[in-house]
């Protein structure tokens, strides 16, 4: 695993992008930056075993290097399903393809994975039993989020599952500041310097736009989901499940 040293060198003045530099260090960046990330991926596999149905499609929207894709692939138990993994960044799709090919050599699941380089807003969701948005929605413009959620809902079969993981902000200012401080301490304990943290935060400003849990719940309800709940939270990072 290549160590993330991007913001030891870069100033943070340029907006954060999922480019070749990020793709090379992404697993390390996730491990050190997102508390609870490994637990989220592990649980996606368990949810896949429960919710993926035979002869249906599964979607990993904003797949990056395919961690959720492989978790679904390993968890799925039903025949005839396939996984569609989508990302807009060429560097991510290229590296993801290598990782999926390596899994093909080692895995006997036989579940096909279709990799698509595209904006997730341009993807038609159909005959779906499971959709994953793992820290993806937060990078979309606010005006596009409702439409995407409706598209996902309409493409899910009855009983289908959406997994939505996001960085959030708390409605209470004092609690929000505590959560931010705890997240920064998490990064410090994972050997990011204060300068690196500051530079990355500057690079993500106006690129990653978080919302409250209440805003996500409201959007899911408006889209039509019957049930929605936070099933995992670590500081200001949450994962929500929603069932059609």
pLDDT of residue 107: 75
Q: Average pLDDT in the 183-198 region?
A: 94
User: Per-residue confidence at 163, pLDDT binned at 50, 70, 90?
Assistant: very high
| pTM for this model (two decimals) | 0.95
Total domains in the chain come to: 1
Does residue 5 register a pLDDT over 80?
yes
Predicted confidence at residue 109, as pLDDT, reads: 73
> Which residues does 158 contact at the CB level (< 8 Å), separation at least 6?
244
Percentage, residues of the chain above pLDDT 90: 94
Domain that holds residue 133: 1-113+127-244
Percent of the chain whose predicted confidence (pLDDT) is above 70 = 100
pLDDT over threshold 90, residue 93: yes
Q: Report whether pLDDT(108) > 90.
A: no
* Rounded Cα distance, 241 and 229, in Å: 6
Is pLDDT above 90 for 110? no
Q: Residue 120 domain-assigned?
A: no
The CATH number assigned to the domain holding 77 equals 3.40.50.150
For the stretch 213-223, pLDDT in tens is 999 999 999 99
Domain-located, residue 56: yes
Mean pLDDT of the 72-89 span:
95
Query: 105 pLDDT band (50/70/90 cuts)?
Result: confident
Task: Please report whether residue 103 resides in a domain.
Answer: yes
Q: Please determine, for residue 178, whether its predicted confidence score (pLDDT) is greater than 80.
A: yes
Does residue 121 sit within a domain?
Answer: no
Q: How far is CA 203 from CA 22, 65, 85, 186, 196, in A?
A: 13, 21, 26, 19, 11
Q: What is the mean pLDDT of the chain?
A: 95
Q: How far apart are CA 228 and CA 219, in angstroms?
A: 10
Binned at pLDDT 50, 70 and 90, residue 200 comes out as very high
Q: Which of 67, 76, 125, 122 is nearest to 96 (CA)?
A: 67
Among 125, 76, 66, residue whose Cα is nearest residue 101 = 66
Give the pLDDT confidence of 132-146 residue by residue, as tens digits: 999 999 999 999 999
Q: Identify whether 119 is part of a domain.
A: no
| Residue 180 covered by a domain | yes
| Beta carbons within 8 Å of 164's beta carbon, 6+ residues apart | 133, 137, 216, 220, 239, 240, 241, 242
Q: What's the token pair of residue 94?
A: 């290229």
């Amino acid at each position: 695993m290549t160590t993330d040293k991007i913001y030891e060198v870069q100033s943070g003045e340029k907006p954060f992008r999922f480019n070749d530099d990020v793709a090379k260090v992404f697993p390390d960046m996730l491990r050190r930056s997102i508390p609870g990330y490994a637990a989220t991926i592990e649980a996606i596999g368990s949810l896949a075993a429960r919710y993926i149905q035979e002869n249906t499609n599964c979607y990993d929207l904003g797949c990056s290097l395919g961690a959720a894709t492989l978790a679904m692939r390993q968890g799925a138990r039903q025949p005839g399903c396939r996984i569609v993994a989508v990302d807009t960044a060429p560097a991510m799709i290229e590296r993801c393809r290598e990782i999926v090919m390596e899994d093909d050599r080692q895995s006997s699941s036989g579940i096909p994975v279709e990799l698509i380089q595209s904006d997730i807003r341009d993807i038609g969701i159909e005959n779906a039993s499971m959709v994953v948005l793992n820290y993806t929605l937060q990078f979309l413009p606010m005006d596009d989020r409702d439409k995407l959620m409706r598209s996902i809902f309409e493409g899910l079969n009855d009983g289908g599952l959406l997994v939505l993981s996001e960085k959030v902000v708390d409605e209470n200012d004092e609690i929000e500041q505590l959560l931010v401080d705890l997240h920064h301490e998490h990064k410090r304990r994972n050997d990011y310097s204060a300068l690196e943290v500051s530079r990355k935060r500057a690079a993500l400003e106006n690129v990653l736009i978080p919302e409250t849990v209440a805003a996500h719940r409201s959007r899911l309800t408006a889209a039509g989901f019957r049930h929605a709940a936070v099933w995992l939270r670590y500081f200001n990072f949450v994962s929500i499940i929603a069932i059609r």
